[in-house]
Chains A and B, each alone.
Chain A
Amino acid sequence: MGRFSRYMFRRPGLFVLGVLSVLFAGVLVNATVFGYLEAVRLREHWRERFTIRAIFREDVNRESMERIREEVARYPLVEQATLVLPEEAKARFLERLGLSEEAVAGISFPASLEVVPRHIEDLPEIAATLRAEEAFAEVFCGGKEVEGFLRLFRLLLGSLGGFLLGVLGFGVFVIVVTTALAVQLRGREIEVLSLVGAPSAFSLAPFLLEGLFGGLLGSVGAYLLSLAFFVPFFRLVSEAFPGFLWVNVEELLVVFFPLDLGVGCGMGVLGVLLGHWRARRRSP
């Protein structure tokens, strides 16, 4: 252990740089994860609003409707499929508009199937499958507003994913550079150790431990910073916007802890392995 700590504190600047890059990446990862969880929560909320309505043709009998409902309910993308019979459709219509039965005398209300998707982005695919079914006269899935919303949602998730990858890549890059620099600065030490019979794993070990330690320190720092930000933030916004669907802060912090540790230690070890490999490859 003495060997490791001695190496670390001889190049404290590089070590601190590595820790800061993990901390910075950890905070950004936490912010991204918060954004993602919030988006998923809103998606769950909106999912019920985005229901596909498939109108049965008039010649389809009740048994066929039941059979089709069961088949549709078995689709992997479908969360729920409900059969709405003409009587129920009529009752809903009257209730919604506040009309009496006489006002709609002579108007027929066709039976329909209401389909709730597992994920709202699957809406167009389910609608296309239903349109291929001959039993339906028409399939409604929200029109242009829904398509616009879905595009926006896909863009949001894609950007979050890209941002997350970028942040992780940047963090690993900083550690690779600092490790390669440290290996080159310690090239003499590594060379001498190699000449007295140290296998390459022996010279790699202090760097690995340093990466792991730096990653651990950075991730704990990122967690504490997130804690310091999110707890007062949620207190404030839940008071200001009580009706909004906020992610539960306790759950969020439980997710952050293992995530930060994993990301920090992973970045530290991966960065050291790549940096060590790069520095050794470049040395004569």
Chain B
Amino acid sequence: MAFLEFRGVSKVYPPGIRALEKVTFAVEKGEFVFLQGPTGAGKTTLFRLITQEERPTEGEIWFSGRRIDTLDPRFVPFLRQHLGVVFQDLEIVPDWTVYEHLVAPLVVLGVNGKEARKAAWNVLRLLGLEKKSTFRARWLSGGEKQKLCVGRALVHRPKLVLADEPTGNLDAASALEVLNLLWNLSRNDCVTVIVATHNEALLERFPARAILLEQGRIRGERF
């Protein structure tokens, strides 16, 4: 069984808007996959189905050998603890500092203070944000916020990273830097990474599989 598998998954939002239609694909462990498609293709909905912010209207979703679309809501937090998500709308708290954002997933996991500090500082250094660790998120630029969101998705070493337009607010050099980070994570640490993007130029630079999504349907795959 694949590490992540969608089997005929559809999602219809009231009053009948079809966001996804019979989507079927599989992603292996440690694989780096692009989810490519224009705005409104259903990329974010697909991610929201994995994080269980939404439930599919039909079909099955399997993650790490378990069916998650019928998961009891009480167990959803434990599923999310295995995921690292870079949200399209960033989902940051303006009042929290950069450091607090990075430590939050570790605190939730019950990692002790010393290890949490160490892991947070590693990510801060990796993203070049160490001088802004005490800055409140509201004081950061758009690109820095995006980097922070990437860092928060990686800090707890998740099994699966979902990055929804992670380079949307970044300049070309920073975008490449962030994607290189995710690429190396997948290559070196065997972490499964799915990157949703509509930026075709980025796809050319990484020899990864791309799933083409259009109007909620898979139109093909590219290797």
Q: What is the interface of chain A, defined by CB distance below 8 A to chain B?
A: 3, 10, 188-189, 191-199, 202
User: By the criterion CB–CB under 8 Å, are B152 and A196 in contact?
Assistant: yes
B181 at the interface (CB under 8 A from A): no
- Within the complex, the shortest CB–CB distance from B161 to chain A, in Å, comes to 13
Name the residue on A nearest B92 (C-beta). Answer: A192
- Within the complex, the shortest CB–CB distance from A283 to chain B, in Å, comes to 13
User: By the criterion CB–CB under 8 Å, are B78 and A197 in contact?
Assistant: yes
User: By the criterion CB–CB under 8 Å, are A197 and B105 in contact?
Assistant: yes
B176 at the interface (CB under 8 A from A): no
B115 at the interface (CB under 8 A from A): no
B87 at the interface (CB under 8 A from A): yes
- Within the complex, the shortest CB–CB distance from A25 to chain B, in Å, comes to 31
Main secondary structure on A side of the interface with B: helix
Given A188-B93, A189-B93, also A196-B87 (CB < 8 A): no
Name the residue on A nearest B108 (C-beta). Answer: A198
Candidates B78, B82, B108; contact of A193 at CB < 8 Å? B108
- Within the complex, the shortest CB–CB distance from B49 to chain A, in Å, comes to 14
> For residue A188, which residues in chain B have a CB less than 8 angstroms away from its CB?
93-94
Q: How far is the CA of A189 from the CA of B92 in the complex (A)?
A: 8
B residues 44-81 near A (Cβ < 8 Å) are 51, 53, 74, 77-81
- Within the complex, the shortest CB–CB distance from A185 to chain B, in Å, comes to 10
User: By the criterion CB–CB under 8 Å, are B95 and A193 in contact?
Assistant: no
Given A3-B107, A202-B108, also A195-B51 (CB < 8 A): yes
> For residue A189, which residues in chain B have a CB less than 8 angstroms away from its CB?
93, 95-96
A-B contact count (CB 8 A): 44
- Within the complex, the shortest CB–CB distance from A277 to chain B, in Å, comes to 16
User: By the criterion CB–CB under 8 Å, are A197 and B93 in contact?
Assistant: no
Kindly list the 10 A-B residue pairs having the minimum CB-CB distance in the complex, ordered from nearest: A197-B81, A197-B80, A196-B105, A199-B77, A198-B108, A197-B77, A188-B93, A189-B93, A197-B108, A192-B93
Q: What is the interface of chain B, defined by CB distance below 8 A to chain A?
A: 51, 53, 74, 77-83, 85, 87, 91-96, 104-105, 107-109, 152
Q: How far is the CA of A197 from the CA of B107 in the complex (A)?
A: 10
User: By the criterion CB–CB under 8 Å, are A196 and B93 in contact?
Assistant: no
User: By the criterion CB–CB under 8 Å, are B80 and A196 in contact?
Assistant: yes
Name the residue on A nearest B80 (C-beta). Answer: A197
User: By the criterion CB–CB under 8 Å, are B93 and A198 in contact?
Assistant: no
> For residue A195, which residues in chain B have a CB less than 8 angstroms away from its CB?
51, 53, 80, 85, 87, 91
Name the residue on B nearest A185 (C-beta). Answer: B95
> For residue B108, which residues in chain A have a CB less than 8 angstroms away from its CB?
193, 196-198, 202
Name the residue on A nearest B87 (C-beta). Answer: A195
Given A195-B51, A197-B81, also A10-B95 (CB < 8 A): yes
> For residue B92, which residues in chain A have a CB less than 8 angstroms away from its CB?
192
User: By the criterion CB–CB under 8 Å, are A194 and B95 in contact?
Assistant: no
User: By the criterion CB–CB under 8 Å, are B104 and A196 in contact?
Assistant: yes
- Within the complex, the shortest CB–CB distance from B76 to chain A, in Å, comes to 8
- Within the complex, the shortest CB–CB distance from B216 to chain A, in Å, comes to 23
Q: How far is the CA of A191 from the CA of B92 in the complex (A)?
A: 10
Q: How far is the CA of A198 from the CA of B91 in the complex (A)?
A: 15
- Within the complex, the shortest CB–CB distance from B43 to chain A, in Å, comes to 17
> For residue B93, which residues in chain A have a CB less than 8 angstroms away from its CB?
188-189, 192
Q: How far is the CA of A191 from the CA of B51 in the complex (A)?
A: 13
- Within the complex, the shortest CB–CB distance from B119 to chain A, in Å, comes to 14
Given A198-B77, A199-B77, also A193-B91 (CB < 8 A): no
Q: How far is the CA of A72 from the CA of B140 in the complex (A)?
A: 85
Name the residue on A nearest B90 (C-beta). Answer: A192
Q: What are 12 residue pairs bridging A and B, where the CB atoms are less than 8 Å apart in the complex?
A: A3-B107, A189-B93, A191-B91, A192-B104, A194-B80, A195-B91, A196-B80, A196-B104, A196-B108, A197-B78, A197-B79, A202-B77
- Within the complex, the shortest CB–CB distance from B117 to chain A, in Å, comes to 12
| Apart from the given pairs A3-B107, A195-B53, A197-B109, 16 other A-B contacts in the complex at a CB distance below 8 Å | A188-B94, A189-B93, A192-B91, A192-B92, A192-B104, A195-B80, A195-B87, A196-B104, A196-B105, A196-B108, A196-B152, A197-B78, A197-B81, A198-B77, A198-B108, A199-B77
- Within the complex, the shortest CB–CB distance from B78 to chain A, in Å, comes to 7
> For residue B95, which residues in chain A have a CB less than 8 angstroms away from its CB?
10, 189
